Amino acid sequence: MFTATRLSIIDTNNIRFHYVLTNLGNDYNSSTGVFTCPVAGQYWFSASITKSYIAQFGQTTCYIMINGIHKMAMQHYEVNPVHAHFSMTASGGFHLNLGVRVYVGGCENPDALELSYESYFSGVLIKPDV
């Protein structure tokens, strides 16, 4: 189980959350933003990202990524951009094998995202394979 917040480094491939609240097993790496699956089983992940009120982008999209593949989309679309905060959230359950890497990335318009405590990434093992 892990929960990390405070979005700190943004690029299109991988977002990093460096303030770790919980990291049982130390399988989330805050310097890379990657959770590496220690045990095969069923997992639940959730991520929420805040869009900056200053950024005037019509669309911003990021994903929960599993081994480089887009799995769950977070998207915000503005018809008429205004100065307001918006958050994008995605969550879902997945079966993972040992060593699979899970992270938030694949972002369009990453400059629109806000470096803040309001953003988070978390995951938990629901049931290990027997």
- Residue type (1 letter), 120: Y
> Looking at the 3D structure of the chain, how many domains does it have?
1
Determine the structural domain holding residue 51 and report its residue range: 2-128
Q: According to the model, what pLDDT value does residue 103 have?
A: 96
Both tokens assigned to 14? 């991988």
Would you state the pLDDT for residue 39? 97
Q: Mind listing the pLDDT tens digit of every residue in the chain (130 residues)?
A: 999 998 776 666 888 898 999 999 999 999 999 999 999 999 999 999 887 666 565 677 889 999 999 999 988 766 665 555 677 899 999 999 999 999 999 888 777 777 666 889 999 999 999 8
CA–CA dist 2, 21 (Å, integer): 7
CATH code at position 112: 2.60.120.40
CA dist 38 to 20, 24, 71, Å?
Answer: 18, 11, 20
Residue with token string 């040992």: 98
Q: What pTM does this model have? A: 0.88
pLDDT at residue 60, rounded to an integer: 79
Q: Which helix (H) or strand (E) holds 10?
A: none
